[in-house]
Structure 1
Amino acid sequence: MVRSDNYKKQLDQAKDIVINGIGETMDLYGINRSVGNLYGTMVFEGSMTLDEMREQLQMSKPSMSAGVKKLQEYDIVKQQFTRGSRKQHFIAEKDFFIFFNNFFSRKWDREISINMDSVKDAEVLLQKIIDADDVDEETKEEAIIIYTQLEDYKVYYEWLSNISNAIKTGEIYKYFPIPERRNQ
């Protein structure tokens, strides 16, 4: 029985290592580490309630609820109907390719939207400076240089939009196919 307990501890340790890695990775991409740990925990579980999540992660119920909502925004956690239970149950997306599609395309789409709106607003102001008759030459030249830079930024965001769309449609897998699962 002692050996079985030791294996159980090693199993939990292995899961904790991966959960920590997922939490750290999501933190790199702007998702709070505790929310990343929540997602990592859910990857190894079936359906979980907020109370079960709170118990496993020692976080408050409001924090759990906010974390689950954040993960639902990316469609990487979904609410699941459980017959006979009054509590809400949630399940994590376990396919990391679907996770990749949902998470990164939404992040990139947001980046594109924010920055393209900024570029358009800035271009309106810059164009007024460029077209003005009473502007000094140095200011006008700087406005032209910045306007040209912004045109280059638009090319980048068009490219990023194409990548995001290729991910959403699955076209990216024609160029970067999902590797075959390795036999164990």
Structure 2
Amino acid sequence: MLGGFSVENDEVNNQWTKHEETIDKFIQVIAKNMNLYGITPSVGRLYGTLYFSDDSMTLDDMRDALKMSKTSMSTGVRALSDMKMVEPSFKKGMRKDLYKSEEDWYKSFTSLFGNRWRHHTETNIEEADETIHELLKLKDNTEDDELKEKIISDIEKLEYAKDYYRWLMKFIRVVESGEVFKYIPKETKTKDD
């Protein structure tokens, strides 16, 4: 009888191990793909670990799970928190800070996409304005008609770029506001599916 229990117990242990390996594999995929959003793989692994954790985690819990320094965990949590992908969690009687992942990936995406794209787009608009300003000064100071024509042509291209960036800012606002979901509805599964 004890032998049967041991074999059954080994099988359950093997199944749990297989489960952990399967989840770890998916966390690696998350980490790898998060660089699309400017997130390092280590921070991506941190998010994946928090996402699949049934309970909120302390920095010590994260350090133990990922075998990384507490400083790295703190930096990663701060970065994820800034992107609204991780939020503080509270548990009565717990003195250490607890964190949990934002489980609404649509919300995380709209926040992350908006922050990243807004910054880059605003920078591009500013750079285009500065370039136009410099080209206009150069145009005013040159007697070379061919150069003046080239400058006028380049300014037209820069104005076109600015039109595109202004359009992109409108798109970013549609994403950030959640209005994008009117046009591209969220995929949702019900318990009956």
TM-score bracket for the superposition, by shorter chain length: over 0.9
User: Is contact 2:37–2:112 with CA below 8 Å preserved after alignment?
Assistant: no
User: Which has the larger Rg?
Assistant: 2
Which of 67, 75, 82 is matched with 2:76 structurally? 67
RMSD: 1.5
Query: Scaled by the length of structure 1, what TM-score is found?
Result: 0.92
- 1:38 matches 2:46: yes
Gaps of 5+ in 1: none
Aligned residue among 15, 23, 29 for 1:21: 29
Describe the shift of the 1:82–1:180 C-alpha distance in structure 2 as closer, same or farther (beyond 3 A): closer
The aligned amino acid for 1:69 is R
Displacement of 1:105 in angstroms is 1.0
> Identity, % of aligned pairs?
35
Distance 1:135 1:69, change over 3 A: farther
Partner of 2:163: 155
Q: Does 1:101 align with 2:110?
A: yes
Query: Aligned equivalents of 1:68 and 1:135: distance in 2?
Result: 58
Pick from 63, 76, 83 the counterpart of residue 92 of structure 2: 83
* Separation (CA, whole Å) in 2 of partners of 1:151 and 1:54: 50
| More displaced stretch, 21-30 vs 50-59 | 21-30
Residue 38 (structure 1) shift? 0.5
Partner amino acid for 1:125?
E
Structure 2 contact 57–98 (Cα < 8 Å) conserved: yes
- Native 8 Å contact 1:129 1:135 kept in 2: no
| Equivalences for residues 49-60 of structure 1 within 5 A | 49-60=58-69
After TM superposition, give the deviation of residue 155 of structure 1 in Å: 1.8
Q: Secondary structure, in 3 states, of the residue corresponding to 1:48?
A: coil
**Alpha-carbon distance between aligned partners in 2 of 1:14 and 1:61, rounded to the nearest angstrom:** 26
TM-score (norm 2): 0.88
Note the C-alpha offset of 1:29: 2.4
Distance across 1 between alignment mates of 2:17 and 2:150 = 64
* 1:44 Cα deviation from its structure 2 partner: 0.7
Instruction: Tell me which residue corresponds to 1:134.
Output: 142
What residue in structure 2 maps to residue 124 of structure 1?
A: 133
Residue 6 and residue 63 in structure 1: after superposition, are their counterparts in 2 closer, same or farther (change >3 A)?
Answer: same
Deviation at 1:133, TM superposition (A): 4.9
Residue type at the aligned position of 2:166? E
